[in-house]
Structure 1
Amino acid sequence: MLRKIARNDLLNVAGGFLAMYGGVAFFCFLFLVQRWIHAAPKVPEPSHGYIYAHNEHGGITYFSAFQTTSCALLFATSVPLFFLGILISPKRNVRYRRSTLSAGANWDGDDPKGLYRVGSLLGAVAAPTLVFLVGPVFVRALVSSGVVLPFR
């Protein structure tokens, strides 16, 4: 007989997983971009597929369809998943601050069983696995279907 999982427990695991997955995936994105920028040509090379311009702080390099789609997907998903994980994690003693020019909040986590850390550990392990093993297969399928997402 399965034990009934409390909503709070599920939200702690999911929130920890998404927040850590988003954070680690963002660092994977930064690693890949830096690595690809140093190897990318400064002029387009259509014969090798490097035709998508990437502007990195004023320096133009050219990425392949795989590289630009990978960067676009990683950037577009990692940051929102990080904030979604923080948003859905249970909170208590929430205090809001508002003024004309700013807003903020402080809270205590509602995690008596320590499940947020379990979710975070799972997210930290899942992110590089998904980014470096599953991600390339997915991106290659997108590119071969004609879907190329620009990342400038």
Structure 2
Amino acid sequence: MDNKLNILFLCTGNSCRSQMAEGWARHIKSDMINAYSAGIEIHGLNLNAVKVMAEAGVDISGHKSRHIDEFKDVPIDVVVTVCGHAHETCPYFPGNCKVTHVGFDDPPKRAKELADKGASEEEQLDCYRKVRDEIKAYVETLPESLK
């Protein structure tokens, strides 16, 4: 039996932010954390999230968008909501599961706003990169910051 912390990163569609968080946690904290990600809904994996994570040396291309219900039998220690909607609609978790919120901007939403103003693809990807780096900085604080 491992003594790793089971952390579930939760967002609305499990397409971008929670996927990045799972990817980072698996990449830099796999000795301490069993990382999972899910959504309140399923939106499919965001290809720009895959692209910017690959730029940083983290391959999440094999991830799939998963619904929160898929984890009802997994003994989750901590749920980290990474968007406001998931935080507001987070289901109840039994036992000693801790729920904490660390909100990050929504890269697809921000990229669309930029695209509507005529921004280049590179400028749109920059908002993904910014959130990717913010999520990495947060994951680097785990699990200590959960105490």
Same fold (TM over 0.5): no
Q: Give me the TM-score of the superposition, normalised by structure 1.
A: 0.32
Greater percentage in helix:
1
Instruction: Select the structure of larger CA radius of gyration.
Output: 1
More relative contact order in 1 or in 2 (CA 8 Å, sep 6+)?
1
